[in-house]
Amino acid sequence: MVVIRNRYESLSIVNDLLQGLWFAIGSFLFFSEATMTAATILFALGSLQMLIRPVIRLSRRIHLRRRGYDESGTQQEF
């Protein structure tokens, strides 16, 4: 069970890092008219990526329940 949790937590961390990168790079690209389109694309990508975190959490829950693990009482939410 710990291995499964660690894998999903790692996925969530990578997702958060990428999301932060898209928004940070997009913010800097907004300073120039020439890169405004690229900035908008990165913001849209970051916004769509915000949906990935709940998908990761839901996948983890389903995976653990299929294996017979009960998550009640656990404090590890990411």
pLDDT digit string, tens, across residues 6-54: 999 999 999 999 999 999 999 999 999 999 999 999 999 999 999 999 9
pTM (2 decimals)? 0.77
Domain boundaries, the chain: 2-66
Inform me whether the pLDDT recorded for 72 exceeds 80.
no
Helix axes 52-66, 2-29, angle to 10 degrees: 170
Query: Can you tell me the distance from the alpha carbon of 25 to that of 45, in angstroms, rounded to the nearest whole number?
Result: 11
pLDDT band at 74 (very low <50, low <70, confident <90, very high): low
Answer yes or no: are the C-beta atoms of 68 and 12 closer than 8 Å. Answer: no
